[in-house]
Structure 1
Amino acid sequence: MAGGVQLLCLATSSGVPLYCRSKGESRQLPFSVIGSLNGVHMFGSNQDVLLTSTCTDNTRVCWRVFRDSITLIVMSSEEDASDLYLSRLLDNVFSAMVLVIGLDDLVNLKNVERLKRELRACYKLIDSLLAASDWIGDLTLCVDCVVSPDAAILQEVLEVFVAAAESNFGCLVVMGKVVVATEKWWRLAAQEVVLLAWLVGSLAPSSSRDYPIYLPHGSPTLVERFWSPLLEPLKTCFRLHHCSFPACSPLHHSIVGLLLINREQNKNLFTLQPHGVENTQQQEAILPPERRRSVLRQFYTLAVSAYFPADTTEDKPALHEEFHAGFTHAPSECYIVAEDHKCYGIQTQQHQLFLTFTADTPTFALRNIATKTLSLLTKEVPF
C-alpha cells in the first residue's frame, strides 16, 4: 500500500463492511484482511483493552468506534501520517456522515443494505477529506480563509443576500476557502463550519443549489440579482485563493509555506504559494508542492503535540518533551532544521504561525523573519 490511504467503515455489532474508500496507490482489501483488522480491535475490547493505533515499518493504522454503532479504520503509508492527523480524519469522516444523512440512521442501524445506499451520498465529501488539497482545516479544525481587499463590500452584500433568503447563516466561499460570513455562521461549532466549507468545495460548480444541509433554500434568481454587480471583487477573491491574502503584503523570499491560525475565531490562512502564482515554477524548483504540503503538516503536528498542546484533553500529546528543571514557562516558539527545508513556529494568545523556509535560509534569521511575518499578517492584513 505504498503512498496510499485505506478507509474502512463497518457496523460495530456485526462487523459488516459498509464502505471502503481509498486514496493513492491503495488497492481493495480482501474481506479476510478487513475481518482481521476489525477482529483484533474487537478482541482487545473484549479484554478491556482499548486499541487506538499501531504501526508497522511503513504503515500506520488507527481504529475508532462511534456511538457503539460505527467502526472506522484507517491505514496510511503516507509520510505525514500521524496519530493526531488520523484521529482527526476519523472524527471528521464520522461527522461528515452525520452531516449528510443524519445521526439517527447511524445509531439505530436496522437495515444495513439501506444504510449502504444512503452512505453513497457521503463519498464525495469523504474522498475530499482523504485527498491532498490546498486546504488544511481537516488537521487544524479551523476554517481555511481568504483575505480579500474588498471584504467590506462583500460582507455588506452577503448580509443583504442572507436576509432576502430569510436566513441568519451564510458565507461566501471561493475554492473551499471562506472570504466572508455572517456573525451567526461563525458561531457554529468549529468542526461544523469546517465540514460545511469542505462540502461546498467538494460539490460540482453551480450558480445555485438547493441542498438539505446548508442554508439558504432560495430561488435561482437570488444569486444573480445580488452578486452580479460584484463580479470583479469576486474575481479578485478567486485570484487570491492560492495565496490566501493580497499580494500587497510581501513576505520574505525564503518562505515557501505558511499556516496562520486565529485561535479565537477558529480560522486559518494556509498557502503553499506565499509569493503568488507568478512565481510558482521558481518555488516548485526549490521544493515541490507535495513536499511543502507534507512538511508543513508534519511540522504543525509536531508543534501542537509536543510544544503547543491544546488546553483541552481532546488530543493527548503523542510526544512530550520534558524541559530541564528550572523552566516553568510553556514554550511559545519552536523550529526544526532538515536537509531540504527549515521550519519555525510561534504561538501567541490569539495566533499560531507555522512557516516553511528554504534550506539555505540562515537559522539565526528564522525568528526575526517569523516575528515580522506574524506582525504583517495580523496588523496590516489583518487576520
Structure 2
Amino acid sequence: MMLQDGSTHLLCLTASSGVPLFTRGAPRQLPFPVIGSLNGVHMFGGGQGVELTSCETEGGGKVVWRVFRDSVMLIAVSGGGSSSKEEEARLQRLLEDVWSCMVLVLGQDELANMRNVERLKRDLRSCFSLIDRLLEERQQGILGNLTHCADSLLPPNPALLQQAVDGFAQAADSEFGCLLVHGRIAAATEKWWRLAPQEVVLLSTVIRSLSASGSASCDYPVFLPHGSPTVAHRLLRFQLLPGVDVCVLCGPTPSLHRAESELVGRFWSPLVEALRDCLAVGERCMPTSVPLRPDVMALLLINRETRRSVSCVRTHHLPSDPPLPSEARCWELLKLLYIFSSTRYFSQEEASCVSPEERSHRGNTEDFVLGFSHQPLQCYSVTEECKSYGLQTAQHQLFLLTPPSVPTFALRSVATQTLSDIVAATGF
C-alpha cells in the first residue's frame, strides 16, 4: 500500500467514463495509473455482471467502491490500522456521507445529470472543506459522522433555551431552528429533530465549518439530501458568543440583515448569562450536577429513539500508575469501541432515512450475529490500555472506558449505574 496506516484517500470519478473529479485525504496522492486501475477493475466486474464493493490488499489496506445515481463513483482507499470488518464499515459510511455532503452543497440534479464535467469539477471545490472534515474531524469529541447521531450538549437550563430557539425560529418564518454550543446541539425545534439523522449531522458539520471561518453571520444555501435534494433552503447562522451559534432553515424571508438587526438581539440578549452557563459545561457535555463515577474514563451515550448522543473524556480526574491513555487516545479508543460493537453485536437503526440500496452496502452485523440465538445486549473487552464495556437497552446504547484497574466483574455495574445516573438527572 502507498498509504500509511490509519490514513484514508478519497477518489471521486464519473461513473460512466472514469474521469477524475477530485481527490482528497492523505497528503501523498495516489498515482494516476493506480486510480485508473481502481476504476478499471470495478468496470470490468460490472461488465461481467459482478458488483465489486470492497477488497483487501496484501499490505492490510482496504478499498471500497460505491456508485451513486449511476453518475458519480466514490472510492475510499485506506492504509489499514483496523480489522477488515470494522474498516469496511467505516469506509462505507464515509462514502455515504461524502455523497450526501455533495448533494447538500450542489443539489442532486447537478450531480445526477452531469452536463459539463469541467464545470462540475469547479463547483465541487465548494464541498472540499466539508469533505475534509468528514475525512478527519478536527474537533475532538465530535462523533456524529461515525454514529449518525447528533452530537449534543446537555445545558443546565434546557427549558429556557428551548423557548428561545422556538421563538427565534418562529419569528424568522421557520420551523427549523438550532442552537449549537462548542459545535454540539444544545437545543433545537421539534421539526429540526424530525430531519433525517444524517441531515442533522451534516448540518451541524456545516455550521461548525461556517463558525470556524470567523464570520459573525452568514446566509448559506443548502439542499437536504433526504428531505429536499433538488430544492435549496437558506441556512441563516449567527454567532451569539464565541463558541455559541444559532441558525434557522428558512425560505426567501427574512433577509439576513433583518434577522441579524431585529431578531437576534430581541431573543438572545436577555439570555447571555444562560449561554455562558452552557459554555461552562465545556467538553463534559453535561452539567456538573450530573454525577459520574470516578472510575469512568470516557463515555459515549446514544439515545436510539432521538438519534442524539453525548460523549466526554475525563482522564485528568483519574491519577493512575501506569499513566492512563491521553485524551486524544481515549477519543480514538471510544471510536474503536463503537465500531467494534456496532459491526459485531448491536443493531444500528436509522429509521426510514436509510434506503434499501444503502442498507445492502452496509452488511453491519448480519454475518457475525448468525452465530447468536438472540440479540446481544452487552459486550466488553480488556486491553493493556483500558477496559471497555458496551450496553444496549431499548432506548439507549452506552459505550464506556475504564482504567485497567477496575475489576472486570464490576464493569457491568459501572455501566448500568452510569446510564441510570445520567438519565435520572437529565432525562436524556
What does 1:188-267 align with in structure 2 at a 5 Å threshold? 188-203=195-210, 204-213=213-222, 214=235, 215-216=249-250, 218-219=256-257, 220-221=260-261, 222-267=263-308
Q: Contact conserved, 1:62 with 1:86, CA < 8 A, in 2?
A: yes
Structure 1 partner of 2:81: 79
Q: Contact conserved, 2:65 with 2:74, CA < 8 A, in 1?
A: yes
Post-superposition shift, 1:151? 1.2
The gaps in structure 1 that reach 5 residues or longer are none
Pairing 1:67–2:75 present: no
Question: How many matched pairs?
Answer: 375
Pairing 1:163–2:170 present: yes
Q: Contact conserved, 1:10 with 1:18, CA < 8 A, in 2?
A: yes
Cα distance in structure 2, aligned partners of 1:267 and 1:205: 27
Aligned residue type for 1:94:
W
CA deviations on 1:215-251 (whole Å, 9 max, x unpaired) are 2454321223321221222222223241111122231
CA deviations on 1:283-314 (whole Å, 9 max, x unpaired) are 99511233222221121112122211246872
Structure 1 partner of 2:379: 334
Q: Contact conserved, 2:54 with 2:64, CA < 8 A, in 1?
A: yes
Aligned residue type for 1:332:
L
Cα distance in structure 2, aligned partners of 1:32 and 1:119: 23
**Structure 2 length normalisation: TM-score?**
0.82
Cα distance in structure 1, aligned partners of 2:339 and 2:105: 28
Q: Contact conserved, 2:80 with 2:87, CA < 8 A, in 1?
A: no
How big is the alpha-carbon RMSD for the aligned residues of Structure 1 and Structure 2? 2.2
Structure 2 partner of 1:27: 28
**Structure 1 length normalisation: TM-score?**
0.92
Distance 1:233 1:129, change over 3 A: same
Post-superposition shift, 1:120? 1.0
Cα distance in structure 1, aligned partners of 2:323 and 2:75: 37
What does 1:95-244 align with in structure 2 at a 5 Å threshold? 95-132=100-137, 133=139, 134-203=141-210, 204-213=213-222, 214=235, 215-216=249-250, 218-219=256-257, 220-221=260-261, 222-244=263-285
Match of 2:392 among 340, 347, 354: 347
Structure 2 partner of 1:320: 368
Cα distance in structure 1, aligned partners of 2:89 and 2:60: 17
Q: Contact conserved, 1:306 with 1:321, CA < 8 A, in 2?
A: yes
Pairing 1:302–2:327 present: no
Structure 2 partner of 1:270: 311
Instruction: Quote the sequence identity (%).
Output: 46
Distance 1:121 1:311, change over 3 A: closer
Aligned residue type for 1:242:
E
Query: Bigger CA drift: 261-270 or 294-303?
Result: 294-303
Q: Contact conserved, 2:294 with 2:318, CA < 8 A, in 1?
A: no
Which has the larger share of strand? 2
SS of alignment partner, residue 242 of structure 1: helix
Cα distance in structure 1, aligned partners of 2:214 and 2:162: 22
SS of alignment partner, residue 335 of structure 1: strand
The gaps in structure 2 that reach 5 residues or longer are 223-234, 236-248, 351-355
Structure 2 partner of 1:40: 41
Aligned residue type for 2:299:
L
Aligned residue type for 1:7:
L
Structure 2 partner of 1:380: 425
Aligned residue type for 2:334:
L
Distance 1:16 1:333, change over 3 A: same
CA deviations on 1:162-185 (whole Å, 9 max, x unpaired) are 111111100001232100000111
SS of alignment partner, residue 334 of structure 1: strand
Aligned residue type for 2:409:
F
